[in-house]
Amino acid sequence: MSLPVSEVDGSEVDGSEVDGSEVAHRSMRAEVLDTASGPMECAVTGEGPAVLLVHGTPGSWRQAAGLARDLADRHLVLLPSRPGYGRTPLAVGRTPAQQAAAYVSLLDAVGVEAAGVVGISGGGPSAAQLAQRHPGRTRALVQCCALAPHLMDPPRAMRFALGVPGLAEVGMRAQRWRQHRRLADEATTDRRIHAELTPAERKELASNPALRRSMIGFYLSHLDAPPPVRGLRNDLRSLGFGSGAGAPDLGDVSVPTLVLHGDVDRVVPMSHGEFYAGAIGGARLEVLPSAGHAFLITFRAASVERLRAALAVGS
């Protein structure tokens, strides 16, 4: 986890150096829907059995747009912005359990009885709560590099920045400027991508130019989103990172569950995936060798294949 970038408008970082097909979120539109839990920002694409993609910390619906595009040929894909992110007010749901209830309200609003749910990184806790508390509305659960709060201890600098009123907002404005400049410089961008990938992923990068474009598209998904300070601050508090609260009891989750994790993940280590696989009865753990936290991008084809198989089980 790192202090996130904040919002820039489309003209400031236009992504002109990237193939437009790789900036998936810019070809989609999200609307704010009225739900029983309150207004929720959500993009919808595709047709077929419903799938709910729950983005990470920080982020917005844009973060999962590339995955949504890959799944949309077989599924109706719902991409909500979690409370505090995008245009979804924090009051819609602060805790993972409250957010799970909000997802049910979203399903009601779009006329979906049940959906497969994919929890990505920081979206993992609320995705698990949806499966646990609302099994009749959840066809299957997939945890992708999902964060287990009791195993995460964010840096002190992040805690400090988010705990001092106004400090994170000022820091994000400065970071926006830096990210803009870095994306405008090809060499700097390449160094950033190289630093964030595993050795195996770097080999893939060398032979697959589309991977570079996809990584830049992912960076733009953060820059195009509204500032995530409220959502990030809430995640830090409501998830209780490093608080000693203990592991959540997920033993009564009954829906088919797949846990996907990279064994070289430096952001959310493999121990988090092992926790979910052990805590949820009947869960299947599939480890992606030599994959880091961005395996949905770097090992895209393999990830989508596994997701499709897992979601088909619950359809």
Q: Which residue has the tokens 């989609």?
A: 28
pLDDT at 315: 66
> Coil, strand or helix: which one is 63?
helix
pLDDT at 155: 73
**Tokens in use for 7?**
């919002």
284: exposed, middle or buried (Cβ count in 10 Å: 0-12, 13-18, 19+): middle
Q: Do 129 and 244 meet the contact criterion of CB atoms below 8 Å apart? A: no
pLDDT at 100: 98
pTM of the model: 0.91
DSSP assignment string, 6-68:
----TTTS--TTS-GGG-GGGG--EEEEEETTEEEEEEEE--SSEEEEE--SS--GGGGHHHH
Whole-angstrom Cα distance, residue 147 to residue 238? 13
**Tokens in use for 35?**
């739900």
pLDDT at 11: 33
pLDDT at 154: 79
Domains in the chain, please, with CATH? Answer: 20-313 (3.40.50.1820)
> Coil, strand or helix: which one is 34?
strand
Inter-axis angle of helices 167-184 and 156-163, nearest 10: 120
**pLDDT one-digit tens code per residue, 164-190:** 778 877 777 788 788 888 898 999 999
Going residue by residue through the chain (315 aa), what tens digit of pLDDT does each one get? 332 333 333 333 455 455 445 699 999 999 999 999 999 999 999 999 999 999 999 999 999 999 999 999 999 999 999 999 999 999 999 999 999 999 999 999 999 999 999 999 999 999 999 999 999 999 999 999 999 999 988 777 776 667 777 887 777 778 878 888 889 899 999 999 999 999 999 999 999 999 999 999 999 999 999 989 899 889 988 887 766 678 999 999 999 999 999 999 999 999 999 999 999 999 999 999 999 999 999 999 999 999 999 999 866
pLDDT at 3: 29
